Amino acid sequence: MFNVALYEPEIPPNTGNIIRLCANSGSRLHLIHPLGFTLEDRQLRRAGLDYHDLACLQEYADMATFLSQHAPRRLFACSTRGSRCYSEVDYRPDDTLLFGPETRGLPQTLLDQLPPEQLIRIPMQAGNRSINLSNAVAIILFEAWRQQGFDGAV
């Protein structure tokens, strides 16, 4: 279905929650190193409950490796610096939703390489910095899946 890519995630419980989210939505999770934890981290495993075996998870040494293996798939970079609201996108199966690390987001150099229509954001109240990573993934992933009629859901 969809691809969720986490660039250098830092907080184990967020990634654990996203593992669970991907397993429940039928999405593939891509982890781009370096990670701020190991996949054996107790907090990550606790947050992911027993969904680790149900999730399709791949790891990549760096962003270049990830991009080389996923071109020409459509990629949407999710950032507070994006200009397009996530709900304005017509998502298609196999799209990739890319999220940055919790404390700093995606690097500007990466965002500069993408066309503006591929830089998406979640609206927030003025003056607020960001939404929790696992919540942001849930918001955007479920909009994409909704547009597909929740294909595969019971």
Range of the domain at 93: 3-148
Neighbouring residues of 154: CB distance < 8 A, sequence distance ≥ 6: none
Determine, yes or no, domain membership for 11: yes
122 is in an annotated binding site: yes
Per-residue pLDDT of 23-59, as tens digits, reads: 999 999 999 999 998 887 676 666 555 676 778 899 9
pLDDT at 108 (0 to 100): 97
Q: What is the pTM of this model?
A: 0.93
* 153 within some domain: no
Q: Is 100 annotated as a binding residue?
A: yes
Residue 87 lies in a domain: yes
Query: Which DSSP state fits 117?
Result: G
Is 68 annotated as a binding-site member?
no
Model pLDDT, residue 46: 66
Strand partners, 85: 121
Task: Say how many C-beta atoms besides its own lie within 10 A of residue 109's C-beta.
Answer: 8
CATH number, residue 50: 3.40.1280.10
Q: Is pLDDT above 90 for 60? A: yes
Number of domains in the chain: 1
Which tens digits make up the pLDDT trace of 97-119?
Answer: 999 999 999 999 999 999 999 99
Write down the mean pLDDT value for the chain.
Answer: 92
> Is residue 103 a part of any domain in this protein?
yes
Taking only the tens place, the pLDDT of each residue in 14-25 is 999 999 999 999
> Looking at the domain assignment, is residue 10 inside a domain?
yes
